Amino acid sequence: MIKIAPSLLAADFTKLGKEVESLNSTQAYMLHLDIMDGIFVPNISFGYDIVKQIRPISSLIFDVHLMISNAPNYIDKFADAGANSITVHYEAVDNIPAILSYIRSKGISAAISVKPATPIEEIAEYLPLMDMLLIMSVEPGFGGQKYIPSSTEKIALAKNLISSKGLRTSIQVDGGVNAANIASVYKAGADIAV
Ligand code: ZN
């Protein structure tokens, strides 16, 4: 079964606490927290202080997706705020092994995300260093976009690479996943759908 990670971006922010608490009694696997800085992506969402405030009222795994240009400077902040998993963008980080190792040193799962235009082959060598690979199935920056169909092939390619290396890296897919396409996303090899 594919695991579901609802994104906080889909919440009604005027009822934030109630929305977060309502997920405690569902099958949701993790709470996906999209952090945008207006530089790496053309939108601004929310920061570590919001993550810290909702941490005590949620029983879910906190899955922080950093869509920011200066990720290394914020790992400590999100770790202290209660993140259980931190994803950084391959396109935004210079030293991938160093940041993955630093995230893991905080006792947190480490993940790399790739934008739709980034080929999976580029991150293949880093797969053994990460707990999860996040494949963006829309251009990062805004919620509610349409799934890019070629993402399905990309998921299958990543799954093959992970299996051929004998790894247990999980695959998360983020953007436009809905009731109509989730079966094909799962079939292609995704473990978690945002
Ligand atoms: Zn995300």
Which residues have a catalytic role annotated? 34, 174
Would you state the pLDDT for residue 15? 97
- Provide the pLDDT confidence category of residue 128 given band limits of 50, 70 and 90: very high
The mean pLDDT value for 11-40 works out to 97
6: CA distance to ligand 1 center in Å? Answer: 10
Is residue 99 within 8 Å of 71, Cβ to Cβ? Answer: yes
Determine the Cα angle at 103 with ends 38 and 11, to 5°: 45
132: CA distance to ligand 1 center in Å? Answer: 13
167: CA distance to ligand 1 center in Å? Answer: 23
36: CA distance to ligand 1 center in Å? Answer: 9
The mean pLDDT value for 93-109 works out to 98
Compute, in degrees rounded to 10, the torsion defined by CA atoms 183, 180, 111, 153: 70
| Closest to 116 (Cα-Cα) out of 175, 44, 159 | 175
32: CA distance to ligand 1 center in Å? Answer: 6
- Provide the pLDDT confidence category of residue 95 given band limits of 50, 70 and 90: very high
Of all residues in the chain, the percent with pLDDT exceeding 70 is 100
33: CA distance to ligand 1 center in Å? Answer: 7
* Res. 143: pLDDT tops 90: no
